[in-house]
Chain A
Amino acid sequence: MVDELLFFMEVLVGGLLAGTMYSLVALGFVLIFKASATFNFSQGAMVFFSVLAFCGFMQDFNIPFVLAFILAALLMVVVGLCTERLVLRPLMNASEDTVLMATIGLGYVLEGLAQAAWGVEVRRLDLGIGDFPVPWIADNLKLFISALDIFAGLVAALMIIGLFLLFKYTKIGLGLRAVADDAGAASSIGIPLKHIMLLVWSAAGVVALVAGCMWGARAGVQFALVDLALKALPVLIIGGFSSIPGAIVGGLIIGATEKVLEVYIGPFFGGAIEGWAPYVLAIFFLLYRPEGLFGEKIIRRV
């Protein structure tokens, strides 16, 4: 009995921590959704592009870890700059659907560039934190929890706190929230949209890099990261597209339920339900709470 409970706890905690990795990916989507009101389909490609560049800097040019990370982050700022200048600004007055299609195109460009520059083979990324159970927790609590999962959880928490402070207490954060509410009114009082776009795309790029590092350390830096990022879609449907806390909680819910369902219900379906269970959950949310748990309700005065 105790063993079963421990096993359940282990599955649950493992799921929650894995969920923070989904949260990290979802965060990038939320940032861009807030400013551009569009789902950025290139987010997965940004994850792949950024972490592949990071590995490339370290492994092909022997640049030390920290410097390589900073270079990769700067590269993502440049990507943000180019995206604003070459894609978003010409589409300034286009409909949201047009921008959505443009992000799909941008995704292909980034995937292609990344592979052209750094090659197509799977790279190993060593963060210096192993993907194996922490001995101390295993001995004292009898739970087998991966050190990488715990690290990812901590990093996710730090990023969220950082972004929250940025949005709530800085001038540019206020500008971003204003643009998210009404871009036309924001520009009428002198908030320059291009600065806000640049900030948001750069921030989403850096978030993509961090998420890429976590996933890359676990599964190898490879093309599959692009598709993995789409797991953020059910996370966002559950959490709400425009909410940072929503991305976090959504990620935790997806992480926990997919692991628990896989272990306890999976055998009835012949296993491997992890792949689709989150989407089923997302469908229920779409039916009964389409704005998500934390999504901004459409405020309508009566």
Chain B
Amino acid sequence: MSNTSANILDIKNIEVRYDNVILALHDVSLKVPKGKVVALLGANGAGKSTTLKAVSTMLASERGKVTNGSIEYDGNAIDKQTPSQMVGLGMVQVLEGRRCFGHLTVEENIISGAYSRKLSKGDINQELEKIYAYFIRLKERRKSQAAFTSGGEQQMIAVARAMMAKPKMLLLDEPTMGLAPQLVAEIFNIVKELNTKEGVSILLAEQNTNVALKNSDYGYIIETGRVMLDGTAQSLLNDDKVKELYLGISKKGRKNFRDVLKEESLTKRSN
């Protein structure tokens, strides 16, 4: 059955439990239109990773289960698939924390992403060159052991590895975690490029609200396993609540760490 709808991913009211008891997602619904970048925003423990793993079917390996609702990918329901079948269908997840194969070289890491495809040696080299065009840095380090590369390079390896599977859709779980601002920008530039040039649809979980929204088409904000707010990226960036809670900008002016400390010391002195 071919997919005629405009959405590559359609999550309807899913509930997820771990170990049959712990309720991680109460009610999450979201859509990813074909060829778009959608940001999934929220604090630690809000349910971002759980949502992504429900989609990639990696939940089972952590004793998690979708106990209610439905997920449709490319027009077909996801329920009995294994992660490797999902990769075969063109859905690849880049796990939180990069998770490179430390003892393999950079190039071996990237090639391992093509495992699910039947490619000849020549095809693999051709694909590699295509990938290196996006990740120029990695080409220089192709022979290094992945564990000895920097955090930013490891994130690039993880994305490059996923791209070798020729995905229609990428699930990126906190790709900028712990990276310096220039690297955050570099990673997002690459993601944006992959989206526009390769036509990959992207669902992106991030805590880095500002940068994520600036590079997305649409955004969802989740808290304690529920979608609290959604809208176009532009409307979320201009939303007062989002500004206050996630971007650290209140109406009174910029609220930063120094202001908080100052307020605290003032209240202490008055006591």
Contacts and interface: CB of A to CB of B under 8 A. Distances in A.
Nearest to A193: B84
Contact of B99 (A92, A177, A184, A299): A184
Interface string A85-107: 00000001100000000000000
Interface stretch (B2-10, B31-39, B56-64, B195-203): B56-64
B92 interface: yes
Interface of A: 92-93, 171, 174-175, 177-178, 180-182, 184-192, 296, 299, 301
Interface stretch (B70-78, B102-110, B182-190, B226-234): B102-110
Interface string B117-150: 0000000000000000000000000000101100
B161 interface: yes
Majority SS of interface residues in chain A? Answer: helix
B58 A189 contact: no
Interface in B153-204: 161-162, 164-165
Given A93-B62, A93-B63, A175-B112, A185 B92 contact: no
Nearest to B119: A171
B221 interface: no
23 contacts: A92-B61, A93-B63, A174-B115, A175-B112, A177-B101, A177-B104, A178-B101, A178-B115, A180-B103, A184-B58, A186-B101, A186-B112, A187-B61, A188-B56, A188-B92, A189-B112, A189-B115, A189-B165, A190-B88, A190-B115, A191-B116, A301-B147, A301-B148
B66 interface: no
Contacts of A192: 82, 84
Contacts of B94: 188
Interface of B: 56, 58, 60-63, 82-84, 86-88, 92-95, 99-104, 108, 111-113, 115-116, 145, 147-148, 161-162, 164-165
Given A189-B113, A191-B112, A178 B104 contact: yes
Q: Which among B63, B87, B88, B92 has the greatest number of chain A C-beta atoms within 10 A?
A: B87
A193 to B, nearest CB: 8
Q: Which among B94, B147, B162 has the greatest number of chain A C-beta atoms within 10 A?
A: B147
Contacts of A177: 101, 103-104, 108
A174 B111 contact: yes
B13 to A, nearest CB: 25
Given A177-B104, A178-B101, A190 B165 contact: yes
9 closest Cβ pairs, A-B complex: A190-B87, A190-B116, A185-B99, A299-B147, A181-B101, A192-B84, A190-B84, A187-B83, A178-B112
Contacts of B104: 174, 177-178, 181
Contacts of A178: 101, 104, 112, 115
A93 B58 CA distance: 12
A296 B162 CA distance: 26
A182 B111 contact: no
A102 B162 CA distance: 34
Contacts of B103: 177, 180-181, 296, 299
Contact of A185 (B60, B95, B165): B95
Q: Which among B84, B87, B147 has the greatest number of chain A C-beta atoms within 10 A?
A: B84
A301 B162 CA distance: 23
Contact of B112 (A92, A174, A299, A301): A174
Contacts of B113: 189-190
A189 B148 contact: no
